[in-house]
Amino acid sequence: MIEELRSLEDLLDLQVVDLEIDRLFNERQSLPELDEYRTADAQAREIAGAREVAEKILRETTLEVDRMSGELELAEEKLAAEQNRLYAGGLSARDATFLRQEVEMLARQNGEKEQTTLELMETRENQEVGAAELTEQLRSANDEKDRLESIIEKAWNGIDARVADKEVRKGDIVPLIPEDLLDLYEELRILKEGVAIGRLVEGVCAGCHLQLTAAEQLDLKRSDPPRCQHCRRILVP
């Protein structure tokens, strides 16, 4: 009987350690910085996606500016050549009239091309500013992620060290408990939200907090191991 009570006391000690380990693991997964990190990570991903789109559009605009600039350069060369022909003289009145009309048309088209090119260059400039702003936002978001990651890592290291200490203590207790009793304890821990054993205090189960009748308490003393009639947890009389 004394040996049995000693095993139950050891089991109580084990539960205290296990509950503390459970609490530490819950603390590990409940750090407020974890939610902040997830938010920062989502923001960084969103900004990175927006920057990627902005840079793609900027590249397309740059290619269009280069294309328009090339077309404008060729058109200006053609206009200059036609103007030289016109000013060189030696043309009939009819040919001169046609050539003058063509020069005017080319000048008008070149003016339109130049205006379009200037508008594209202004658009590109605005896009460059937008892409630079997104790059800065992404840098800030990543800095915030790094800051939170550092806090989380430091907290986790501290928690893990405390868990390791508890595991050492658990390793000292487990060999003291009979294997069948330990198996029952582990099974009940899963079923009873971590609390598999409790004391019987003035006829009340410390697990479910229900009163046991005198007859139930008598049956309790006869069972091996003693278990609550209501919640079926192991009880220490």
Q: What is the pLDDT of residue 59?
A: 95
Same domain? For 139 and 83 the reply is yes
Same domain? For 65 and 11 the reply is no
Mean pLDDT of each 10-residue bin along the chain, 237 residues long: 75 96 96 96 97 96 92 82 75 74 82 90 96 97 97 97 97 94 95 93 92 89 87 91
Q: What is the pLDDT of residue 1?
A: 47
Name residue 180's amino acid. Answer: D
Strand, helix or coil at 177?
A: coil
Q: What is the pLDDT of residue 4?
A: 65
Same domain? For 97 and 72 the reply is yes
Is residue 49 assigned to a domain?
A: yes
Question: What's the token pair of residue 145?
Answer: 């992620």
Same domain? For 53 and 140 the reply is yes
pTM, to two decimals: 0.72
Strand, helix or coil at 210?
A: coil
Strand, helix or coil at 79?
A: helix
Question: What's the token pair of residue 227?
Answer: 């278990």
* Domain end (from 146, 169, 190): 146
Instruction: Report the alpha-carbon distance of residue 93 to residue 113 in Å, rounded.
Output: 30
